[in-house]
């Protein structure tokens, strides 16, 4: 096996492992559109990172995080519904990112790879970043698992029972921003939400507890990466979209199996 394929596989597996449990929260809390908005703003993160000459990994995580905090602030002001706010921010961020990238002098940024991922160009350094971030995310998820479930079920009840709801919520946003930053390399900003929610939705039908669902989603996301990469290798298709296609196929398969059963 060639190195670049091994790197791609390892990178994909690392991201998939954390995309599973986080994706469960995205599904449980109905945050799909929210995830999309943060993912789109990651493109702006790339543009600003290049423009301001800061480390791209940092700017790609920082912009979605700022976006998330801004959203919370605007939502609490209660000027517009969350849905409308997300619609505005999501597409403004995507458009601004595209415009800023086109204005960058002397820098050739491969737009397609930002939008749809560039799994086959993963380097060893990328792998270090991905696994460090994935480990941090996993640690946070395990540490905050119970309060996260509790605020997902009923936030006010959780608050009365002594959970610091806004701190836990902010931590979930941080986790989301971190996962987006590492998932961008794999599937690109336009397809990140798919990698989060499709494995989780597939796992729902096979799980009886939240923990089970998180683990099954993780396993399904990892299987999806393996299948997607094989497909990409065999058919010479783009890797990121191939991964998402395989996720969708697995989801449909789970529907069929359930209807028969």
Partner 1 sequence: MSSPLITLKGVNKAFGGRSVLDNISMQLMQGEITTLIGPNGAGKSTLVRIILELIQPDSGTVSPSAGLRVGYMPQKMHIDPTLPLTTCRFLQLANTSHHACHEALERVGIGHLATSPIQSLSGGEVQRALLARAILRKPNFLVLDEPVQGVDVTGQNALYRMIGELSKALNCGVLMVSHDLHLVMSATDRVICLNQHICCQGHPEQVTQDQAYIDIFGQTTAVYAHQHDHHHSLHGDVLDGHNHQHGEGCNHD
Q: Which is nearer to partner 1, 135 or 153 (CB)?
A: 153
DSSP for residue 47:
H
| Among residues 91, 146, 164, 258, the one that binds partner 1 under rule CB under 8 A | 146
Residue of 61, 52, 48 lying closest to 96 (CA atoms): 48
Q: Does 28 bind partner 1 (CB under 8 A)?
A: yes
Question: Minimum CB separation from partner 1 for residue 160, in Å?
Answer: 4
Angle at alpha carbon of residue 19, lines to 166 and 83, rounded to 5° = 50
> Taking a C-beta distance cutoff of 8 angstroms, is the pair 222, 213 a contact?
no
- In whole angstroms, what is the distance from residue 129 CA to residue 101 CA? 24
Residue of 192, 261, 162, 157 lying closest to 15 (CA atoms): 192
> Taking a C-beta distance cutoff of 8 angstroms, is the pair 115, 43 a contact?
yes
Q: Does 166 bind partner 1 (CB under 8 A)?
A: no
| Among residues 78, 124, 125, 260, the one that binds partner 1 under rule CB under 8 A | 78
Question: Minimum CB separation from partner 1 for residue 51, in Å?
Answer: 39
| Among residues 80, 107, 132, 157, the one that binds partner 1 under rule CB under 8 A | 157
Question: Minimum CB separation from partner 1 for residue 30, in Å?
Answer: 6
By CB under 8 A, which span of 8-16, 94-102, 155-163, 178-186 interacts with partner 1? 155-163
For 127, what's the count of Cα atoms within 13 Å in the CB-facing half-sphere? 15
Question: Which chain residues interact with partner 1 by CB under 8 A?
Answer: 27-30, 78, 146, 149-150, 152-154, 156-161, 200-201, 204, 207-210, 212-213
């Amino acid at each position: 096996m060639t190195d670049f394929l091994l790197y791609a596989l390892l990178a994909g597996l690392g991201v998939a492992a954390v995309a599973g449990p986080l994706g469960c929260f995205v599904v449980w809390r109905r945050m799909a559109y929210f995830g999309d908005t943060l993912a789109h703003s990651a493109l702006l993160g790339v543009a600003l990172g290049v423009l301001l000459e800061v480390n791209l990994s940092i700017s790609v995580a920082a912009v979605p995080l700022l976006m998330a905090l801004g959203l919370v602030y605007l939502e609490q002001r209660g000027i517009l519904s969350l849905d409308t706010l997300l619609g505005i921010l999501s597409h403004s961020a995507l458009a601004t990112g595209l415009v800023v990238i086109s204005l960058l002098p002397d820098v050739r940024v491969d737009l397609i790879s930002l939008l749809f991922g560039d799994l086959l160009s993963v380097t060893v350094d990328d792998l270090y970043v991905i696994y460090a971030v994935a480990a941090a995310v996993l640690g946070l998820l395990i540490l905050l698992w119970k309060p996260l479930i509790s605020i997902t079920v009923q936030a006010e009840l959780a608050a009365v029972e002594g959970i610091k709801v806004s701190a836990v919520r902010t931590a979930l946003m941080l986790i989301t921003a971190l996962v987006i930053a590492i998932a961008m390399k794999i599937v690109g900003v336009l397809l990140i939400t798919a990698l989060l929610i499709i494995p989780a939705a597939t796992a729902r039908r096979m799980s009886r507890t939240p923990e089970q669902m998180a683990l099954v989603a993780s396993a399904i996301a990892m299987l999806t990466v393996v299948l997607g990469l094989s497909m990409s290798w065999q058919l010479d298709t783009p890797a990121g979209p191939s991964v998402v296609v395989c996720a969708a196929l697995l989801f449909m398969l789970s529907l069929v199996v359930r209807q028969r059963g």
